A and B are shown apart, each in its own frame.
Chain A
Amino acid sequence: MRSDPRDYEFSSPGTLAGALSLLNREPGQWLPVAGGTEVMVQYSSGRLDARRMLNLWDIQELKQITEGADSLRIGGGCTFAQIREHSAVQKYFPLLAKAAAWTGSIANQNRATIAGNIVNASPAADSPPALLVHEAELELVSTAGTRRISYGDFHLSYKKTALKPNELLLAIHLPKRFVKWFSYCQKTGARNAQAISKVCIAGIGKLSGGRVETVHLALGAVAPIPLRLRKTEKVLLDAELTKHTVAEAQRALAGEISPIEDIRSSAEYRRQVAANLLEDLLESFAASECGQ
């Protein structure tokens, strides 16, 4: 059953200050909606519980990408089309440009925003693994001001985040310090375009004298939250990327992930594909010249 538009309130304050003051006055009462690619799907199918919509789409303060000396700041309201086409994203964060290009169709990329993708907190979303390996920081804002937290601390459990009911995700900060590192990402879905991932992976790293000097790995759709693979990284540290090391890393990965069976895949398939993707990543890593 489709929702009845008469049941919904819709507020368009038009400015960040206006939106925050509404959220502060009635925290938890208003559902922020930007491009609508998530909220409107729920609405169309009658599954949208919220009845009061707070329109963020026309808030210009959320829509800028600004390049600093050491980092890139992406406004929460930036669309994936904007992100994938931005020259600094392509130059410093090719994994994010790729993830943006993987997110839905062109029409959806023209509407879907990065803050929406993050706050919606689907463990299968395409951009989180790239954000995790680049150690992104989130800037959250309320009427009381802004605070910054590591993106790695944002997802608490399935669909639960550190965002407070009176806050919005103002911007994502990405440090540029990884620019010369090896980077890799891959996604497995039912078809190439417009498919939600069965498993997706991102990794960056540096080799030194044939050994792993440092590596950051993250996976999507294998746990209740987008997952940074801290234990697998530890196994790889200082190791040569031999077949033995790859097998050790795959064992560590198997212990870190907890995939489920759902409409898109079985848990067993996800386990196998996650291991295969890690192997492919590490083979490319070993073959890379970065840090040599």
Chain B
Amino acid sequence: MSLGSFSLRINGENRVVEAYPMERLLDILREHLGLIGTKEGCGEGECGACSVLINGELVNSCLIPVAQADGAEITTIEGVANGEDLHPAQKAFLACGGAQCGMCTPGMIVATVNLLNKHPHPTAEQIREGLNGNLCRCTGYMRIFQAVEEAARTGSEK
């Protein structure tokens, strides 16, 4: 109906967007802000390609109307690395061959970052559960699980 103004803190930067309240956070990120690292897969909360963190919690950005993200702290895949220094999860996905076509990878890595924030030393079961909302049709998941284990190892060495 009418445009609103929404304040988002994205990857540590304050951004204000003019948008319709029901616009999906995913579209705001990709189309308004050019943050195209976040992918759209299913568009119905099943595949996890659009995973981001809102106030430190893992969510599917395709299911969030931007009005519900007003004032929130959002971390996208673009905000995971520290400048040029990749996050341990990103390094581990590269080292372990945790990515093939790459469509699911940003979501997988955001879900991994979330998992490691909650469980720095996850069990195999916690890894499977932590990534259970992220579908990959290439890898068969084993290299992804290995990458998460590797990220937990290297991340905790710091």
Q: Which residues of A contact B (CB under 8 A)?
A: 2-3, 5-10, 12, 33, 35-37, 40-41, 43-45, 53, 55, 57-58, 81, 104-108, 110-111, 192-194
Inter-chain contact A57/B129, CB cutoff 8 Å: no
Closest residue of chain B to A108 (Cβ to Cβ) is: B45
Interface 1/0s, chain B 1-43, versus A by CB < 8 A?
1001000000000000001111110000000000000000001
Question: Separation in Å of the B144 CB from the closest CB of chain A?
Answer: 14
A-B contacts at CB below 8 angstroms, number: 95
Inter-chain contact B59/A107, CB cutoff 8 Å: yes
- Could you say which of A8, A53, A104 contacts B45, with CB atoms under 8 Å apart? A104
Q: Which residues of B contact A (CB under 8 A)?
A: 1, 4, 19-24, 43-46, 48, 51, 57-60, 62-65, 67-68, 111, 114, 128-130, 132-134
By secondary structure, the B interface counts as mixed
Closest residue of chain B to A79 (Cβ to Cβ) is: B57
10 residue pairs bridging A and B, Cβ less than 8 Å apart: A3-B22, A5-B20, A7-B1, A8-B20, A10-B21, A36-B64, A40-B62, A43-B22, A44-B24, A192-B132
Question: Separation in Å of the B125 CB from the closest CB of chain A?
Answer: 11
How far apart are the CA atoms of A261 and B59 in the complex, in Å? 32
- Could you say which of A2, A53, A105 contacts B65, with CB atoms under 8 Å apart? A53
Inter-chain contact B133/A37, CB cutoff 8 Å: no
Inter-chain contact A107/B22, CB cutoff 8 Å: no
For residue B134, which residues in chain A have a CB less than 8 angstroms away from its CB? Answer: 105
Inter-chain contact B21/A41, CB cutoff 8 Å: no
- Could you say which of B24, B51, B59 contacts A111, with CB atoms under 8 Å apart? B59
Inter-chain contact A193/B132, CB cutoff 8 Å: yes
